[in-house]
Amino acid sequence: MNLIKITAVFFLLTSASFAEDWVKILGNPPAVGSVEEMMDLQYLLELQESRTEGECEEARSEESVTLKSLFGGKHGPLSDAEVIENTFMFYKYLVLGGLKTKQAKKFFKRQRPFARFPNQIETCIKESSPNQSYPSGHTSIARIMAYALSEKYPERKFRFFQKADDSAKYRMIGGVHFPTDIAAGKKLADYLAKIYF
């Protein structure tokens, strides 16, 4: 596919006419003060209590969303050569998925756990935006890439999705996403995968 066709497809997929009903696709996040929100908090507090420095280090290694940080390196299913080979594809889905994630986050405006419960949640990774929690962008991007990589390397499909799930869990371990943010990130990825693939 030449550059003009890629640009045309990109424009169509990101145009304003491609508007989503975010509540229908993802559902609403738990209401402030609800039982569901308290369950979200309790899960994070349990993770916070049991997390190790090694887990926090793993979470920090994925703060920057790159193909290598998500699927390469010493624990990843992609070799260094495959990371290089698939970098263009990664950036394509990073832009497409990232745009949709940002639109959903802007719509819901949910506070991150450390902002909502500042006296209870202690992060072990950095996060600059206190109001960009629902859905989890790391989760949606990692899962979209798991779909894309599984199309190319179907024999490693389980490993790609397992790695995407691990990345999602590290966002909770780090204290920057609620479990329901993670679930919404997966829903968003599944929704986009039906369109992109």
Share of the chain above pLDDT 90, in %: 81
CA atoms of 149 and 102, how far apart (whole Å): 23
pLDDT digits (tens, 9 = 90+) for 145-180: 999 999 999 999 999 999 999 999 999 999 999 999
Tell me, what's the pLDDT at 26?
96
Tell me, what's the pLDDT at 5?
47
pLDDT digits (tens, 9 = 90+) for 5-59: 444 455 445 444 345 799 999 999 999 999 999 999 999 999 999 999 999 999 9
CB 46 within 8 A of CB 131: no
- Mean pLDDT across the chain, nearest whole number? 89
CA atoms of 66 and 90, how far apart (whole Å): 8
CA atoms of 123 and 48, how far apart (whole Å): 8
Please check the confidence at residue 99 and state whether its pLDDT lies above 80.
yes
Fold of 33-196: Vanadium-containing Chloroperoxidase; domain 1 (1.20.144)
CA atoms of 101 and 86, how far apart (whole Å): 22
Q: What is the dihedral of CA 14, 18, 19, 20, to 10 degrees?
A: -100
Please check the confidence at residue 127 and state whether its pLDDT lies above 80.
no
CA atoms of 73 and 80, how far apart (whole Å): 7
pTM of this prediction exceeds 0.85: yes
Tell me, what's the pLDDT at 17?
38
**DSSP-based three-state secondary structure for 195:** helix
For the chain, the distance separating the N- and C-terminal CA atoms, rounded to the nearest angstrom, is 16
